[in-house]
Amino acid sequence: MLLASVFAIIIGFLLGLLGGGGSILTVPVLVYLADISAKSAIATSLIVVGCTSLIATYQHARKGYVCWKTGAIFGSAGMFGAFLGGRLTAYIPGALLLVLLGIIMLIAAFSMILKDSKQSDDTSSCSSETPICPLQLPVLAILFDGFFLGIVTGLVGVGGGFLLVPALAHLAKLPIHAAIGTSLFIITLQSTAALAGHANHLDIDPSVTLTITFLAIIGSFAGASASNYISANYLKRGFGYFVLLLGSYLIYKEVNQTIVLQVHTLIKDNREFIIGASSVVAFMLIYRLWAWLHTRSNKI
């Protein structure tokens, strides 16, 4: 439990500093260091991440780095997706959820490692005449991304800040500090909705949850204070390599013959639902591709 407590402080620190990333460690820490089952760890993670993000949001809001309108639009779609994801976890085996988390960790790791620092610098820079929070927003694109990131939050208990911050920086054109602060606000909303989705199968250890949450909040204060002095770009890349190793280990440990049989049974018993859901997802992805192609062609 001592090692889990140390990681809880690190999780809070990264949330306060980067607006995300740290929460992706919460479930593995709870499963492998606190010896909690996968589904209980996901529900506990939502409480830890939600409370920590709320405190960190307050810290960033004091500096004027939270764009409430943007966060409300993104978060409203995210809450719907998070609630849906939370309900779906009741029908998915715990080991399969851990494998899904491992895949998401690999995606997050490569996103942090391969991120173009020059592009990040350009996004974070803005003149004194440019408002921190833009008045015009691509609402449909923000709702689309918010919904899918919300599903990720509900399914595997991560805040999704590693995807939220780049999305807010590029879609809503927020400076990096505003993207971080707004991301924390969105994570708070999504975590609350996801926890509601887990209500019918909620199973948590109160003492472990309170301890981890308290330590993560302490870490978030330190992270929010350090955000003025530490370059997020270098820290993200190093953290990305760590997440890459942890995600690879998670997949290596959980993928076996048993989980292959569980996936086969899951598909067999829910074939019509999976076909219908896949069709909806495919349609939305095609629309997103169409919008991206037309936006790109207008810039040429």
State whether 126 and 197 are in the same domain.
Answer: yes
State whether 172 and 278 are in the same domain.
Answer: no
Q: For residue 287, what pLDDT is reported?
A: 65
| pTM more than 0.95 | no
Considering the chain, what is the average pLDDT of its residues? Answer: 79
State whether 288 and 183 are in the same domain.
Answer: no
State whether 206 and 277 are in the same domain.
Answer: no
pLDDT tens, residue by residue, 194-211: 988 888 777 788 888 899
Q: For residue 295, what pLDDT is reported?
A: 60
pLDDT tens, residue by residue, 264-281: 777 777 777 677 767 766
Query: Could you give the number of structural domains in the chain?
Result: 2
Whether 79 is covered by a domain: the verdict is yes
Q: Where in the sequence is the domain holding 25, given as residue range(s)?
A: 2-257
State whether 160 and 274 are in the same domain.
Answer: no
State whether 162 and 229 are in the same domain.
Answer: yes
State whether 71 and 204 are in the same domain.
Answer: yes
pLDDT tens, residue by residue, 84-135: 888 888 878 787 888 888 888 888 788 777 765 444 444 444 444 556 787 7
State whether 94 and 54 are in the same domain.
Answer: yes
State whether 109 and 174 are in the same domain.
Answer: yes
State whether 241 and 279 are in the same domain.
Answer: no
Both tokens of 25, joined, read 């460690």
